Amino acid sequence: MVMDFEFRKQVMDYHQGSEVIKYCYQCSRCTDNCPVSYVTDEFYSVKYNPRYNILNALLGYKDKIFSADPLAIWGCTVCDTCDEVCPQKIELTEVFTLLKNQSIANGDGPDFIYQQAKTVIENGKAIPMQSAIERRRQQMGLPDIMAPNADELQSLMSNMGIDKKLK
């Protein structure tokens, strides 16, 4: 394992409370309360572990983070539970956002993330309307759902350069 000091500094700088983040004492409350950790422990071969992510990020073990199973970074659903229970008030999700952004910048994001982003750009929403859902809504007497304006979203994404990143 190689300690990458530049990466370590990026993590420290990115975190708003960098004075506090140094004092993660690995109590594991984040992992013990993480719903993704709970589910993956039951049903997946690799348990998602935010405590490991924080440990590796703070120690600058960049390779360990980015060469691991994509779940190591992308398993986090940003529910913010870990931020709320951390006794040291560490904003883990801020650090995980940095890791996700770096993963995309390196072109290492998992396929399902690119596919999901493509769906959002093309349809203006994460889950496009389907005829089965429309039928069900009609049966239940629910009103039609207006399609979002995907053109607006595409212009926004284009101005932010996100379309290029996805390519």
Minimum distance from residue 88 beta carbon to ligand SF4 (Å) = 4
Cβ distance to ligand SF4 smaller for residue 110 or 124: 110
Cβ distance to ligand SF4 smaller for residue 14 or 157: 14
**49 backbone dihedrals φ, ψ, rounded to 5°:** -140, 95
Cβ distance to ligand SF4 smaller for residue 10 or 50: 50
Minimum distance from residue 98 beta carbon to ligand SF4 (Å) = 14
How far apart are alpha carbons 37 and 87 in whole angstroms? 19
Minimum distance from residue 81 beta carbon to ligand SF4 (Å) = 4
How far apart are alpha carbons 8 and 12 in whole angstroms? 6
Minimum distance from residue 34 beta carbon to ligand SF4 (Å) = 3
CB 3 within 8 A of CB 61: yes
Minimum distance from residue 39 beta carbon to ligand SF4 (Å) = 10
Burial label for 145, CB within 10 Å (0-12, 13-18, 19+), is exposed
Q: Which residues bind ligand SF4 (CB under 6 A)?
A: 24-30, 34, 36, 50-51, 54, 76-82, 86-88, 90, 92-93
Cβ distance to ligand SF4 smaller for residue 81 or 103: 81
Cβ distance to ligand SF4 smaller for residue 86 or 99: 86
7-14 long-range contacts (CB < 8 A, ≥24 apart) are 7/57, 7/60, 7/62, 8/57, 8/58, 8/59, 8/60, 10/98, 11/57, 11/58, 11/60, 11/95, 11/98, 14/94, 14/95, 14/98
